[in-house]
Amino acid sequence: MNDQVLTLADVAVSLGGRPVLRNIDLSVAQGEVVALLGANGSGKSTLVRAAVGLRPVRTGSVHLFGTPLSSYDAWQRVGYVPQRASATTGVPATVWEVVASGRLSRRRLLLPLGRADRAAVSAAVDAVGLGDRASQPVATLSGGQQQRVLMARALAGEPDLMLLDEPNAGVDVDSQHRIADTLAERAAAGATLLVVLHELGPFAPLIRRAIMLREGRLVYDGPPSGVVDLHDAQPFGGHHHPARSEPDFVPEVRAPFEGGR
Amino acid sequence: MLDILLSPFMLRALVAAAATGLAAPAVGTYLVQRRLSLMGDGIGHICVTGVALGVLTGTSPVLAAIVVAVLGALLIELIRSTGRASGDVALALLFYGGIAGGLVLISLAGNSAFALQGYLFGSITSISAGDVWVSVALAAVVIVLCVTLLPQLFAVAHDEDYARTAGLDVRVYNVLISVLAAVTVAVAMRTVGLLLVSALMVVPVATSQQFARGFRSTMAGAMVVGIVAALMGVGTSAYVDVPPGATIVLVALLGFVATWPVGILVQRRRRERVPFPADPVAEHETVGETHGHEHGPHCGHVAVEHGDHVDYIHGVHRHAAHGGHYDEH
């Protein structure tokens, strides 16, 4: 159990009373590169967010590096890369400023950035190929470059475990390849990666293990080659469900008191 | 001519204005970043109740205003963070509660609403030496915290989820911003008045962010704009018979209007330099996932024309039919 970086045992997550994930048992060992696949709304993002404590679990337990999430505090070992926010925030921020916040888990309160911090931020910005844009406002970058900024922010913390939420969603092909290359370097250095993907794309050569979610349940865990013909091969049970043709997104109805997020 | 500016009451007014002019934009930068530009206004309205409470109980209106403002700011943060109501609904509830409570309390104290005027619109020239020192000390605390905790406060305001995974106690920092905003409002109450204080938190930031590239430079620029507007406003009111608080706000607004055309040009130049995404057609990427149905006019996905064909919006993807499969566009 000691080399288990991330463990989810019988995890269920509900959002606003609706069950989104259930019966999730998942262990990721040190050095593994895992793709988390599934349709929109299958709970991929929720699983990653639950793994880093951004979503409370209803049942079951989450362990990071063998420590229960509730008492986990070694956040410098974890690098979370959220999906690129669609809107930029009210006040401009430079690439450097955003990436520098990736060092917060390693910095002491009230002390300025040390030499090691600056070196790590520079290295992270260079690693995603934005070295010449470090002093540019993030809002003037393309969508793919903005996703790379978020990636660099996580890299700056020099994490042992990286969790990436659809790093290639809405990202130009050039940036997808660069993100995949950077991840390959991290994997070669021994980091553990859990990557939410809509499709393998440029990440395919990197992925050793694929996990597939369908409607909140884990339906496949094995080599990525087994995923593609999932509909025909049925590696997980004998009966066949007809493919649904519903739209992926159900429009959300919001009342004024329902909350801003 | 300079005699008026150097008279004791004018010097006190200038010092108090300078303190407000620096502190308000510093906090305001975080509020604008969190899209809570009107939070200062909401707290200002709550302060009306605080002032009236001070008058009613015979204690210091400023002290009572600070206490009530901090409580109100915590309430706004509580409502916002539990997601029971969106930020602007929470603010609206407190706006009207604060004003109505203040008017009822002040009449219970046997005063008409005119007793509130000095706090609603500011009364900087009647400020006492003791009040000046309190203002300067509180403003100094606000500025020091805003500057020294910038990395943490920026991270929380910029991306709350990420800040949480960096091990920051997000709630503590959110509450801190709210409390700093509340203290700033109570301090600025005597300078620009409760109804105008929000302007000094937001307008300098709006002026500065037209030109600044980053967060720190926006904050620094806003503080410069804030102190210049505060000193010019008070200085003007020394020679022309105009209310200093409103003049400070007008000077700040004039600064924004004057720089606006230049700001538009700067923004346009920056937008032009946003790089185009790499040509997706050249790569010819097929959809890797299994695809449950055929896209068509009635499939439920939004259809968007794209050159000589139609793309179907598929979450964050655009699927275009190509032979027997779909391409990512």
Residues of B in contact with A144 (CB under 8 A): 277
- Separation of alpha carbons B165 and B187, rounded Å: 35
- Find the CATH number of the domain harbouring A79: 3.40.50.300
The DSSP annotation for B200-252 comes to HHHHHHHHHHTT-SSHHHHHHHHHHHHHHHHHHHHHHHHHSSS-HHHHHHHHH
The sign one gets for the Cα dihedral B123, B125, B126, B131 is positive
Number of compact structural domains in chain A: 1
Distance from chain centroid for Cα A231 = 25
Q: Residue B137 contacts by C-beta under 8 Å, 6 or more apart in sequence?
A: none
Nearest CB neighbour to A244, from listed B212, B213, B292: B292
Q: How high is the pLDDT of residue A121? A: 95
DSSP classification of residue A2:
T
Bridge partners of B317? Answer: B314
Q: Across the A/B interface, how many CB contacts are shorter than 8 Å?
A: 176
CB A65 within 8 A of CB A74: yes
- Separation of alpha carbons B227 and B14, rounded Å: 10
Summarize the confidence of residues B25-35 as an average pLDDT. 93
Nearest CB neighbour to B289, from listed A91, A137, A198: A198
Q: How high is the pLDDT of residue B291? A: 65
- Under the banding of pLDDT at 50, 70 and 90, the label for residue A139 is confident
| Residue in A42, A75, A77, A91 to test binding to B, most B beta-carbons within 10 Å | A91
Question: Which residue on chain A is closest to B205 by alpha carbon?
Answer: A91
Bridge partners of A161? Answer: A78, A192
User: A114-138, pLDDT tens digit by residue?
Assistant: 899 999 999 999 999 899 889 999 9
Q: Please state which architecture CATH assigns to domain B2-198.
A: Orthogonal Bundle (1.10)
Bridge partners of A33? Answer: A193
A9-23, B134-148, B260-274: range with highest mean pLDDT = B134-148
Residue in B95, B117, B96 with CA at minimum distance from that of residue B106: B117
- pTM, entire model: 0.81
Contact A231 B277 (CB under 8 A): no
Domain-embedded: residue A31: yes
CB A72 within 8 A of CB A79: no
Shortest distance, CA A89 to any CA of chain B (angstroms): 6
In the numeric block, the tokens 């229960």 are attached to A68
Helical segments of chain A, H only: 44-51, 95-100, 115-127, 143-156, 173-188, 230-233
Phi, psi of B66 (to 5 degrees): -60, -45
| Residue B45 pLDDT > 70 | yes
Domain-embedded: residue A107: no
Q: Between A134 and B316, name the one with better pLDDT.
A: A134
Summarize the confidence of residues A28-55 as an average pLDDT. 92
Summarize the confidence of residues A127-150 as an average pLDDT. 88
Domain-embedded: residue A190: yes
User: B236-258, pLDDT tens digit by residue?
Assistant: 998 998 999 999 999 999 999 99
Residue in B102, B51, B46, B108 with CA at minimum distance from that of residue B77: B46
CB B39 within 8 A of CB B28: no
H/E stretch holding B60 reads none
Residue A260 CB neighbours (<10 A):
14
Task: Tell me if residue A241 falls in helix, strand or coil.
Answer: coil
Q: How high is the pLDDT of residue B321? A: 74
- Under the banding of pLDDT at 50, 70 and 90, the label for residue A240 is very low
Q: Residue B296 contacts by C-beta under 8 Å, 6 or more apart in sequence?
A: none
Domain-embedded: residue A226: yes
Domain-embedded: residue A124: no
Q: How high is the pLDDT of residue B40? A: 87
Structure tokens of A5?
């970086």
Residue B64 CB neighbours (<10 A):
21
Contact B165 A75 (CB under 8 A): yes
- Separation of alpha carbons B43 and B46, rounded Å: 5
Residue in A224, A128, A234, A219 with CA at minimum distance from that of residue A175: A128
- Give, in order, the Cα–Cα distances in Å from B20 to each of A73, A230, B139, B197: 39, 64, 7, 9
- Separation of alpha carbons A141 and A139, rounded Å: 6
Domain-embedded: residue A219: yes
- Separation of alpha carbons B146 and B222, rounded Å: 13
Percent of chain A with pLDDT over 70: 84
- Separation of alpha carbons B27 and B181, rounded Å: 6
Number of Cα atoms under 13 Å in the Cβ half of residue B325: 10
- Separation of alpha carbons A60 and A73, rounded Å: 20
Q: How high is the pLDDT of residue A1? A: 47
Shortest distance, CA A110 to any CA of chain B (angstroms): 6
The sign one gets for the Cα dihedral B26, B31, B35, B40 is negative
Nearest CB neighbour to B288, from listed A104, A199, A261: A199
User: A207-216, pLDDT tens digit by residue?
Assistant: 999 999 998 9
Nearest CB neighbour to A97, from listed B85, B88, B216: B216
CB A164 within 8 A of CB A52: no
| Residue A238 pLDDT > 50 | no
Q: How high is the pLDDT of residue B84? A: 62
| Residue B155 pLDDT > 80 | yes
User: B113-125, pLDDT tens digit by residue?
Assistant: 777 888 888 888 8
Task: Tell me if residue A36 falls in helix, strand or coil.
Answer: strand
Q: Where are the domains of chain B?
A: 2-198, 286-328
How buried is A214 (Cβ within 10 angstroms: 0-12 exposed, 13-18 middle, 19+ buried)? middle
DSSP classification of residue B7:
S
User: A64-68, A95-99, A166-170, B52-56: which has the minimum mean pLDDT?
Assistant: A166-170
The sign one gets for the Cα dihedral B239, B240, B245, B250 is negative
Question: Which domain, by its residues, includes A228?
Answer: 4-86+158-258
Contact A75 B167 (CB under 8 A): yes
Percent of chain B with pLDDT over 70: 86
Residue in B61, B76, B28, B68 with CA at minimum distance from that of residue B46: B68
Task: Tell me if residue B29 falls in helix, strand or coil.
Answer: helix
- Separation of alpha carbons A162 and A142, rounded Å: 23
Q: How high is the pLDDT of residue A143? A: 82
- Separation of alpha carbons A81 and A147, rounded Å: 9
Question: Which residue on chain A is closest to B222 by alpha carbon?
Answer: A91
